[in-house]
Structure 1
Amino acid sequence: MYIPSTMRTIAWSALALCVHAQYVIDNLSFGHKEGQPMSPNLRAIPHFAANGDGYTPEILSDRVLLTPPYPGSRRGSLWSEDPLHHAGDWTAELSFRVSGMERGGGNLQIWYAKDSQKDQVPNSLYTAHQFDGLVLVIDQYDGRGGSVRGFLNDGTIDIKAQADPDTLSFGQCGYAYRNLGRLSVIKLHQANGLFEVTVDGNPCFATDKVKLPEGYYFGLTASSAENPDSFEIHKFVVSTTNTHTREEPNKKQFQPPPVEQHQQQNQQQRPKPVKGSVEETQQMLQDVLAGSIKSQQDQFADLHNRIQIINHRVNSIYEMLERLDTENANRFNDLMHRVVPIDDRTSAMIRNVEKVERINMEIQRDLESKDFKDMLRQVHNAIQESHAGLSSTMPIAMSHIVGSHKHSMTTFLFIAVAVQVMVVGAYMAYKKRRNSAPKKYL
């Protein structure tokens, strides 16, 4: 399959960007996954241990309160349970916010120490024992508005016993961190022999004389004064450009295979000319730890194999699209052939409809053009004749019916006399009954 030069350029640019991409070390980070709570149960953060003195750090869905807004004189800490297994190139980013009274006080420490203090009472720079590692302190030391200072210890210096601990810092910068109303971001970055600290994207201090070893633990501790400050941790992300540290919570359990075995694996992973199934391609694209690839030739071979596999899969997708296009074209042609054209029967039906319309038009013209006066006059005469005949014959028929069914005069006289006799008899009976009734006197 031919790939245009523009597409090749884009592919190589994407590959170059992936080489320098930052990979988050999940077991050393929290709060970096969008849309997911910091803690699955709001009681603990995976791979981190919380501890406190007079107060247990409160874990919310999007932040951790190392010290509460009230009361004061409280301490809280978060320590990673797994060490960092990389010493060459890594970045630790902390997003936090500090709020409190107008004259509140306290301090926040970012630790990178050889020994984890997850089971100890949270310590600050001024209360910690002789530790081995780095501590970055954010506080208002010596009445300043705020500062960021870095301290190193090899386990032989008791910083809390020093009269002026500020003289032991190897780098510092001013930063007013209290009551900003927004998140503050501090980054610790080590790469190419240079260790640097930035605050809100601005450089704080840097040195090429510090190289932190691997196998140390990250920790966050905070303590508040009598006038308290609330230290909120919103995100802590440790990342690196090396891919083998992303899924390596314990490096001691990993032993890189010998070169001969890795070469055999590369030979097995090389794509074949034939195109396999999706399962076969996924088998060929299995992840390989970058630490197991030692030589530059093996790295090039692995990259070459994976680009070839991607090329074959793109070719397969292109052929599948061509096949779908051909099938759609064939289906369209089949449907077009199944469409029956207008035949003779349809033409005859159309002619019959036209004939009916023509007849209707003729009838309409006849009705509009002919005169119906004579017809109406004939109908009127017929109705008059029928009326005259009925008028002449009706009296004769009625007189005949009355004459044949009428009563005689004697019958009417008898009925009248009988009615009068009945009325007189009824009156006499009424008078007699009234006279025989008892009299009532007032």
Structure 2
Amino acid sequence: MMQTNSGYLVLAYIGAVIALNLVACDNSNSGDYMKREHSLVRPFQGVGVILPHWDFLGNTMVTSNYIRLTPDLQSKSGALWNYAPVMSRNWEVHVSFKVHGKGTELFGDGFALWYTKDRMQTGSVFGSKDHFSGLAVILDTYSNHNGPHNHQHPYLSAMVNNGSWSYDHDRDGTHTQLAGCEVRFRNVDYETLISIRYENDILSVSTDLENKNEWKNCFVVTNVELPTGYYFGLSATTGDLSDNHDIHSFKFFDIDTNSDVPYQDTMARANIIPNAKTFEPPREHKEDPKPGMSNAKIFFILLFVVVAAAGVAIFAISFFKERNARKHFY
């Protein structure tokens, strides 16, 4: 009986090892494999406040099932950064997330996925630094911006920056974006996913927002040059409006595994400056024209003028009557 139980234990151990290997080799395409030094997979088992291969800051909270970048409270900010530089020239990232909160019409602000030269830098762009060097993929949920827009929110966009440009919040970054699409992922009962694939200088972004286990293309941009040796990160922020921004997994797939890319070429990519050749030059930010007065405001102004004029007329009539009365008396 002891031998039988031992046999079952051995089989169970072998099965567990195989299952772990299958998770580690989870792939988006045959030939790609997941690298754990750039990935986060549940359950999140940090030691104290430490996550293996990752740092976090701000209001970020780590649980076994999700990592919450911000709670559904005002004026919160959090970030999560991988501390291993990415040396793969071609790669793909899958992020599972949920954005949810008590707001029904107004909510915000959103979160961003980063592939940048600098890490652990706080700032004004969804909790991370402006004038960054690298790639930002932004999921903007704040629908109460000033100025006209030709899209609805939430809105997904990408920006490549060489460190000299600023992200324009008032225009959702449309003055400097590569491309974008409307996305609806708030307050759903299931996890939503985004895929970012960078291969042969082609940036492809897809989403799975309807729980159908299939990718829907958002945009594809060619001639995007990104260096090796940059870092992955995620950050989120809230202002007067808020949401929970939860990360459920971050999976990095190395596309170079079975490729013929020479090692020297991969290393040489570390020296290039991030750029996108098909990218329109940033347009100058122009302030919105001051809005005209509302009908209600115009009504109350006219009412005040009429009342004031009536008051002046009554005073004048009373004044002249009293003056005439005095003349008759003398």
What range describes the TM-score normalised by the shorter chain of this pair? 0.5 to 0.7
The change in CA–CA distance for 1:38 and 1:244 in structure 2 (over 3 A counts) is farther
* Aligned pair partner of 1:154 in 132, 146, 162: 162
The change in CA–CA distance for 1:97 and 1:42 in structure 2 (over 3 A counts) is farther
Equivalent-residue separation in structure 2 for 1:161 and 1:149 (angstroms): 12
Question: Gaps spanning 5+ residues in structure 2: where?
Answer: 1-26, 145-151, 209-214, 266-330
Equivalent-residue separation in structure 2 for 1:244 and 1:203 (angstroms): 25
Map 1:156-305; keep pairs closer than 5 Å: 156-160=164-168, 165-200=173-208, 201-243=215-257
Matched position secondary structure for 1:168 = coil
Equivalent-residue separation in structure 2 for 1:209 and 1:133 (angstroms): 14
User: What is the match of residue 31 of structure 1?
Assistant: 41
Note if 1:49 corresponds to 2:50: no
Note if 1:58 corresponds to 2:61: yes
More strand by share: 2
Equivalent-residue separation in structure 2 for 1:145 and 1:78 (angstroms): 24
Q: Would the aligned equivalents of 1:195 and 1:207 in 2 still touch at CA under 8 Å?
A: yes
User: What is the match of residue 310 of structure 2?
Assistant: none
Equivalent-residue separation in structure 1 for 2:240 and 2:55 (angstroms): 26
- Report the structure number with the largest CA radius of gyration: 1
C-alpha deviation, 1:160, in angstroms: 4.5
Map 1:279-428; keep pairs closer than 5 Å: none
Question: Gaps spanning 5+ residues in structure 1: where?
Answer: 1-16, 246-289, 295-442
User: What is the match of residue 115 of structure 1?
Assistant: 118
The change in CA–CA distance for 1:184 and 1:177 in structure 2 (over 3 A counts) is same
Matched position secondary structure for 1:98 = strand
The change in CA–CA distance for 1:44 and 1:112 in structure 2 (over 3 A counts) is same
1:236-287 alpha-carbon deviations (Å, 9 max, x no partner):
0111133499xxxxxxxxxxxxxxxxxxxxxxxxxxxxxxxxxxxxxxxxxx
More helix by share: 1
Task: Write the letter of the residue equivalent to 2:248.
Answer: H
Matched position secondary structure for 1:203 = strand
The change in CA–CA distance for 1:99 and 1:26 in structure 2 (over 3 A counts) is same
TM (norm. structure 2) is: 0.61
C-alpha deviation, 1:208, in angstroms: 1.2
Equivalent-residue separation in structure 2 for 1:161 and 1:204 (angstroms): 21
User: What is the match of residue 94 of structure 2?
Assistant: 93
The change in CA–CA distance for 1:214 and 1:244 in structure 2 (over 3 A counts) is farther
1:212-249 alpha-carbon deviations (Å, 9 max, x no partner):
2211100100012323200010000111133499xxxx
Equivalent-residue separation in structure 2 for 1:126 and 1:232 (angstroms): 15
Note if 1:79 corresponds to 2:81: yes
Equivalent-residue separation in structure 2 for 1:145 and 1:211 (angstroms): 28
Task: Write the letter of the residue equivalent to 2:173.
Answer: P
Task: Write the letter of the residue equivalent to 2:125.
Answer: S
Equivalent-residue separation in structure 1 for 2:133 and 2:163 (angstroms): 4
Equivalent-residue separation in structure 2 for 1:241 and 1:129 (angstroms): 29
User: What is the match of residue 131 of structure 1?
Assistant: 132
Equivalent-residue separation in structure 2 for 1:90 and 1:68 (angstroms): 31
Q: Would the aligned equivalents of 1:49 and 1:80 in 2 still touch at CA under 8 Å?
A: yes
C-alpha deviation, 1:139, in angstroms: 1.2
Equivalent-residue separation in structure 2 for 1:147 and 1:105 (angstroms): 12
Q: Would the aligned equivalents of 2:110 and 2:126 in 1 still touch at CA under 8 Å?
A: no
Q: Provide the alpha-carbon RMSD of the alignment.
A: 2.9
The change in CA–CA distance for 1:179 and 1:241 in structure 2 (over 3 A counts) is same
Equivalent-residue separation in structure 2 for 1:27 and 1:107 (angstroms): 26
Could you say which structure has the greater relative contact order, defined with CA pairs below 8 angstroms and 6 or more residues apart?
Answer: 2
C-alpha deviation, 1:128, in angstroms: 2.7
1:15-56 alpha-carbon deviations (Å, 9 max, x no partner):
xx9x94221111110116xxxx2124362211111000xx2x
Q: Would the aligned equivalents of 1:132 and 1:153 in 2 still touch at CA under 8 Å?
A: yes
TM (norm. structure 1) is: 0.46
Q: Would the aligned equivalents of 1:146 and 1:175 in 2 still touch at CA under 8 Å?
A: yes
Task: Write the letter of the residue equivalent to 2:57.
Answer: N
